[in-house]
Structure 1
């Protein structure tokens, strides 16, 4: 059947994809309207001509046997109708195969169409259906050999030839069906792999947008909260906060434009290709800490390692960035300590800690809302890099985020990107 039929049955796009086995392999219902593609028309025409060719050869042999005129008339009429019925093999494959098998138990000129019908059932139906139909075709050989003996062939040899033809056609149909199932399975795997790649890319872009924008927006919220709750601040301080808001808003828009630019493809003429946005590394960590200090945070950086690969440094930078953003959201102006250490061939570790609040008031002015998605994203990032991440309160009254990332002895250019 044509692959457009599931849409006539009201299937949606995702249901249509999973309904393909029923349509292409014929395991679903039959009897509905058939809309043939160009390939279907070519195949059906070839099958019709094949059935007509076998019928013509049988008719030549039948004329040589000098059969009675009434029998010859019946043979010719049923032979012509059986050839025409081949066009119904897509709509009623099993019914057509059964009717032609029964007729072939005595009539000879329906043999060509019966062979085509049996092949169709073997291709488009599972063995639990095609097996009994094949058995019926084998059983109808017995009355045909007995009632219509061949003048130039013994009955035993005629029966053996008929069995060989039926089994050969059935086996051929099974092979074609198995090949179609294999092709469909490979296509499904390829589609699944493509969908998985798209999902992973969407998750990567979502993490990138969260890591970049959460940092900038938290800066905006921090300075805007200071202006809201300290309207009587000195003019110089208000101007500094307003300038910080303007700067971070501009940087947020710029970062958003760069991240969205990754989603763009080349132009239709292939002239424009948008490169990947520049990624921060471990060398950019002091600048991040200095930016947080300008925003009013008390951050101490203890960086005991340098020269880490770009990919490893980028993951560690994002972890520190998100940890500082969370500290700015939930811990206010408490001191934050960042310790980065590691050794090539072992691992690269980072620890971001800050004292817990002595008490949690019902409403803290300037607090930025958060749902914990950042920590979940950090854990996923660390796991994707082959490391691990822990976070939580310690008995010493601190909230600590610790991450360990593997640092192989030798890294390739691909690992560094």
Structure 2
């Protein structure tokens, strides 16, 4: 199975891991799933038990459900290797890039409200992005002879689908990566310990400064011409702030977290919740090294700004409710959070028609689509929408069958074990999905 490894020397921490390749396993989900039937979940239970027993992970929680039914929860292990506290549905996990679909849905609410449009230039809201420069040679020198003017505007669609040509400090190399670090264009918090390379960097002091600084560095590719993982969803957070006149984190709280009943999700862990927070580990050879222990976690501090691409901490219960809202096409527990039209659009293929040949997004080596902050399936995989996080988390829905499933653990790089592929295979077996 094709995957994108989270290599420490280049794509560490926030890249998508094996999630895209794993999604390809779930073409055409069955309606046979009864999440409460523990007998059908034996494979998922064994998966969690085996990883914990082999000490590949300290813990694992899996949630799986259908429609508006409560999810089954499988929980194994403890908060950390030296902890005696068992994990459960309310354990706190760093979900990193699983933040992106949340930001994507927030943006689609504003599209539905008529306050922004998919193909509207970002410069309409953030004028600093009106005259963008693009590198002729990606990751090359930032000099006049390697720069050219953008041939089209950077749009909201581009931000949501990683097609704007924006960079990512965990992906870029050379002078551009250095410029991102120097200007505080750091997309997440990881640890109190500074490390070299892609681990390094101090975030900008606010989302406004982040956006202003981002406008001063060149794009890696021409807008709309390539799929390239980026800080597009982080910039979308600033767009949301300006359009709504309220802080981005407050918008998420009022429009998504509160209506969905996601009481434990946010950008900071409260002191009273330390006892629910997992430890996070870095895989170094055969050893798991603590990189962010709960008792002294970087997430106990107020972040410099809400990272819309990879900043949230959440629980299996909370994120399952977010997915439940999506499979309910905007409705959960009889309450309307988003319009059905907005959810259907968000989970559809939003890639621009200006993509160059062989420059789109792939699932398992085959051309696929991308929606609002998450991958979407095409053909036999139509109905799939989801994304993964850098520390071993993954969540997806199948809108056609109302299936939702998520996995939570805490280790980096998240693609090291190819766990997501195994998880998707077991979900397929549990739901009666044909493989291959």
Q: TM-score, normalised by structure 2?
A: 0.24
Q: Which has the larger radius of gyration?
A: 1
If asked which structure has higher relative contact order (CA below 8 Å, sep 6+), I would say: 2
